[in-house]
Amino acid sequence: MTLAEILKLAPVVPVLIIEEEAHAVPLAKALVAGGLYALEVTLRTPVALDCVRRIAGEVPEAVVGVGTVTTAAARQAAADNGARFGVSPGLIEGEGADGPLPLLPGIATATELMWGLRAGFTHFKLFPANIVGGVGALKAFASPFPQATFCPTGGVDLNNAPDYLVQPNVICVGGSWVAPRDAVQSGDWGRITALARAASRLGKTPVAVV
């Protein structure tokens, strides 16, 4: 699947911090049951790549990706462990759109966006979305950079996600709110499915042409 196809699977990409490998499969199943299919497992715990392998092998409905990819080596490791896409908080020196797996790089400024476009990327994580201008930044980027599409992430939740999703240059949003730490730790998969279901129903709202 292309990055665009993956990002279109649902309006929200869950950002996951998984501390125990045993949580990976039930968490992925809970999210898929709620209608979220592209899952970002962040490289913030020692078991992250083990979790990616488990999800890739045991939850075929999920399209598992790796987040917090900050080096070329991490991108390669993500691919080697079964990830279908990678997400980075920023641009990685020397890494372009072509590589071992599709990558969604983070940008926060016009200059970074220009560097990313030059490296062949067309889809970007606006990060941290709520801090670097949010919806206003996306509107400002739309005219000079019509070829850029965004997945705003960072401070996005069920309440403000609709404001982002209505923007024509937004393909989806990312966020950790669908998998709260306490729910993962206590194995409250029903709560996570409910959060995922609410997120998956957000949808993209067509914008009226005036």
CA dihedral 158, 161, 162, 166 (to 10 degrees): -160
Query: Residue 209 CB, nearest distance to ligand 3PG (Å)?
Result: 31
Between 1 and 40, how does the x/- string for binding to ligand 3PG read (CB under 6 A)? --------------x-------------------------
Q: Contact, 84 vs 101, CB < 8 A?
A: yes
Residue 176 near ligand 3PG by CB under 6 A: yes
Applying CB under 6 A, the span of 29-37, 159-167, 174-182, 194-202 interacting with ligand 3PG comes to 174-182
Interatomic CA distance for residues 177 and 97, integer angstroms: 28
Q: How many residues are recorded in the chain?
A: 210
Helix (H), strand (E) at residue 3: helix 3-7
Number of residues that bind ligand 3PG (CB under 6 A): 10
Of 127 and 145, which CB lies nearer to ligand 3PG in the complex structure?
127
Q: Given the structure tokens 């966006």, which residue do they identify?
A: 113
Residue 167 near ligand 3PG by CB under 6 A: no
Helix (H), strand (E) at residue 103: strand 103-104
**Neighbouring C-beta atoms of residue 157, cutoff 10 Å:** 14
Residue 88 near ligand 3PG by CB under 6 A: no
Residue 153 near ligand 3PG by CB under 6 A: yes
Interatomic CA distance for residues 52 and 5, integer angstroms: 20
Identify residues 42-71 at the interface with ligand 3PG (CB under 6 A): none
Note the residues at the interface with ligand 3PG (CB under 6 A).
15, 127-128, 153-156, 175-177
Enzyme catalytic residues:
40, 125
